[in-house]
């Protein structure tokens, strides 16, 4: 594994990958500061842009955008109490009170240092364990891969959003859409409605662009402002010049006075992030709560406690690294943005899963090393660009929407130079709006779409091994453990759904 790691270093240190690493950090930050534009939106817009690049440059570009956009969500959370990403909600609890106290620059500095340290700890740990985990995953045969994929899809469907049943239905819809292709057994077209463009399989890029970029722009088009007009933007006007740089440096130094909070929160993010679908929102609040519980002055939390920002931001970027573990070793996305990273791997001819380290080990390590370097670049880029990039929040939607939609249309068209793909993105944009308005999460649908072919392929391959005998899924001890885990997840989902139903009934 050390040899593969050194080869990964050599891949990363080439001029082109380094150029796109730096560019990805800047692009990710520019998009990530926009409220509602999660790292998934940034990755979805970047996916078609990566098509003309060499695989290693494209994946490094995407990975650096992932890291940068994830932590950029803290900027509007601190300045405006408007989290740029769901995970930044925990950061806003102490970051915005610091802004109200006139310490916005310090809060940004604390967030930058904490994000950088958390990201580097997470990446270092992932680099250390991904080789052994991939070796362990090699023991999985088709039945085990089928079951693991089903577990991942079920977990993500149930934990994303507030209604587990809606998450499961969205995942099932994704599986149904994934079946819109020729049957792998008979080559008969299924649900193609006579469109030859769907005969191979439904293309990922237009679907992802539609569900993320088109949906977000359609919802934003009817508004006069990206943020609530009642939001006080005075903090944006006060930022700039040498003052914010000085205050940010002070904040960085102050964050280093709490190393245990950084390390503990990073490990919490790493542990939770490895579990597919858990995501940064859950882990950030767990880390924030842990820091408050261990603090000698817990009453300060929620009122501008530095440790609150440190806990949330350290955990945030550690989760980003952790989501790549199941994505790379099992082919199961660790979260929504990781699902787009998975699509990028497939797009560039790299098959994720247990054999990834054997077939594309240097590229895998190069991606993880790029995430480490991107976390380090958070310090200068985040400090220098926080104030000017935050002004993007004030851009009226009438200018922002056409610009983003133009990029989205070009990205949808570029891969196959087909207007059909543009229409497909439009259809999924409308579907995304309908799902958002009805309270259905989009992420399970995307994962169902990506994992559907994997589930079908391993299901059919497993049956072929035993000449159609379904007992093949119960032969090994590993399979039995996975069945038990799947049953437990379903049971917990049913209980959670009933609990939510009772609570909504009482509130009514």
Tens-place pLDDT, residues 412-422:
887 677 888 89
Please check whether residue 493 is in contact with residue 158, taking contact to mean a CB–CB distance below 8 angstroms. yes
Kindly state the tokens that stand for 315: 């955990």
pLDDT at 167: 81
Within a domain: 50? yes
Which DSSP letter does residue 441 get? -
pLDDT level of residue 225 (50, 70, 90 thresholds): low
pLDDT level of residue 100 (50, 70, 90 thresholds): confident
Q: Measured in whole angstroms, how far is the alpha carbon of residue 443 from the centre of its chain?
A: 10
| Cα gap 349→295, rounded to integer Å | 48
Kindly state the tokens that stand for 341: 């990273």
Nearest to 371 by CA among 4, 25, 108: 25
| Cα gap 267→321, rounded to integer Å | 11
Within a domain: 392? yes
Within a domain: 507? no
pLDDT level of residue 502 (50, 70, 90 thresholds): low
Q: Give CA angle at 374 (368, 377), nearest 5°.
A: 155
Tens-place pLDDT, residues 132-180:
877 776 677 888 878 877 877 776 666 555 567 788 888 889 888 888 8
Name the more confident of 76 and 13. 13
Per the structure, the complete domain to which residue 403 belongs is given by 2-502
Instruction: Report CA Rg, the chain.
Output: 22
| Cα gap 500→495, rounded to integer Å | 9
Q: Give backbone dihedrals phi and psi of 6, rounded to 5 degrees, phi first.
A: -65, -35
Q: Is 168 exposed, middle or buried (0-12, 13-18, 19+ CB in 10 A)?
A: buried
Determine if the pTM surpasses 0.75: no
* Greatest mean pLDDT range, 41-45, 221-225, 252-256, 503-507: 252-256
Number of independent structural domains in the chain: 1
Please check whether residue 46 is in contact with residue 348, taking contact to mean a CB–CB distance below 8 angstroms. no
- Comparing 158-167, 307-316, 324-333, 409-418, which segment has the lowest mean pLDDT? 158-167
Kindly state the tokens that stand for 496: 């959670």
Please check whether residue 38 is in contact with residue 1, taking contact to mean a CB–CB distance below 8 angstroms. no
- Averaged pLDDT, 319-329: 87
pLDDT at 162: 58
Tens-place pLDDT, residues 79-89:
777 676 667 77
* 256 has pLDDT over 70: yes
- Averaged pLDDT, 84-102: 80
Name the more confident of 38 and 433. 433
Within a domain: 341? yes
Tens-place pLDDT, residues 354-411:
788 888 889 999 999 999 999 999 888 877 776 676 566 667 788 878 888 887 888 7
* Greatest mean pLDDT range, 47-51, 131-135, 283-287, 366-370: 366-370
- Comparing 51-65, 111-125, 330-344, which segment has the lowest mean pLDDT? 330-344
Within a domain: 508? no
Average pLDDT, the chain: 81
| Cα gap 398→173, rounded to integer Å | 33
What residues form DSSP beta bridges with 189?
182
Within a domain: 132? yes
pLDDT at 477: 83
pLDDT at 227: 57
Tens-place pLDDT, residues 166-221:
888 888 898 888 888 777 777 777 777 777 777 777 877 788 888 877 888 888 88
Residues 294-309 as b/e (b if ≥16 CB within 10 A, e otherwise) read ebeeeebbeebbbbbb
- Comparing 309-323, 377-391, 465-479, which segment has the lowest mean pLDDT? 377-391
Within a domain: 370? yes
Q: Give backbone dihedrals phi and psi of 182, rounded to 5 degrees, phi first.
A: -70, 140
104-137 vs 88-100: helix crossing angle, rounded to 10 = 170
pLDDT at 373: 94
| Cα gap 327→486, rounded to integer Å | 19
Tens-place pLDDT, residues 420-458:
889 999 999 999 999 989 988 887 888 788 778 878 888
Residue pointed to by tokens 């259905």: 440
Within a domain: 381? yes
Share of the chain above pLDDT 90, in %: 17
Q: Measured in whole angstroms, how far is the alpha carbon of residue 224 from the centre of its chain?
A: 28
């Amino acid at each position: 594994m050390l040899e593969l790691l050194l080869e990964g270093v050599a891949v990363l240190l080439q001029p082109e990958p380094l150029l796109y690493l730096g560019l990805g950090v800047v692009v990710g930050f520019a998009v990530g500061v926009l409220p509602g534009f999660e790292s998934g939106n940034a990755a979805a817009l970047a996916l078609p842009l990566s098509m003309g690049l060499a695989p290693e440059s494209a994946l490094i570009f995407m990975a650096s955008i992932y890291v940068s956009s994830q932590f950029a969500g803290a900027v509007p959370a601190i300045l405006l109490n408007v989290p740029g990403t769901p995970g930044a909600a925990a950061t806003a609890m102490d970051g915005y009170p610091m802004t109200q106290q006139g310490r916005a620059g310090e809060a940004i500095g604390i967030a930058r240092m904490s994000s950088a340290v958390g990201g580097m700890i997470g990446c270092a740990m992932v680099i250390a364990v991904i080789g052994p985990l991939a070796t362990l995953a090699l023991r999985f045969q088709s039945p085990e891969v089928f079951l693991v994929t089903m577990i991942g899809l079920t977990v993500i469907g149930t934990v994303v959003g507030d209604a587990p049943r809606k998450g499961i239905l969205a995942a099932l819809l994704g599986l149904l859409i994934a079946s819109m292709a020729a049957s792998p057994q008979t080559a008969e077209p299924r649900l193609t409605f006579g469109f030859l463009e769907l005969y191979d399989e439904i293309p990922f890029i237009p679907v992802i662009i539609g569900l993320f970029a088109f949906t977000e722009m359609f919802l934003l088009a009817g508004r006069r402002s990206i943020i609530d007009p009642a939001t006080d933007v005075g903090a944006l006007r006060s930022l700039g010049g040498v003052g914010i740089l000085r205050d940010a440096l002070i904040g960085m130094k102050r964050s280093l006075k709490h190393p245990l909070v950084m390390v503990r929160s990073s490990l919490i993010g790493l542990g939770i992030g490895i579990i597919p679908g858990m995501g940064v929102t859950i882990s950030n609040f767990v880390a924030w709560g842990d820091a408050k519980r261990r603090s000698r002055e817990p009453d300060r939390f929620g009122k501008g406690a530095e440790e609150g920002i440190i806990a949330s931001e350290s955990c945030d970027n550690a989760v980003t690294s952790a989501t790549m573990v199941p994505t790379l070793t099992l082919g199961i996305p660790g979260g929504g943005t990781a699902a787009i990273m998975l699509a990028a791997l497939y797009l560039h001819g790299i098959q994720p899963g247990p054999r990834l380290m054997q077939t594309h080990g240097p590229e895998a390590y190069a991606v993880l090393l790029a995430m480490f370097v991107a976390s380090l670049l958070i310090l200068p880029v985040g400090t220098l660009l926080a104030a000017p990039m935050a002004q993007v929040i004030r851009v009226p939607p009438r200018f922002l929407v056409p610009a983003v939609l133009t990029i989205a249309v070009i990205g949808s068209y570029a891969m196959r130079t087909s207007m059909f793909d543009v229409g497909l993105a439009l259809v999924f944009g409308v579907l995304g709006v309908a799902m958002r308005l009805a309270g259905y999460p989009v992420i399970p649908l995307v994962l169902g779409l990506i994992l559907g072919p994997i589930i079908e392929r391993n299901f059919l391959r497993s049956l072929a091994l035993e000449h159609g005998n379904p007992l093949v899924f119960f032969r090994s001890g590993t399979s039995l453990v996975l069945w038990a885990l799947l049953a437990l997840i379903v049971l917990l989902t049913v209980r959670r759904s009933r609990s939510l139903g009772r609570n909504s009934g009482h509130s009514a």
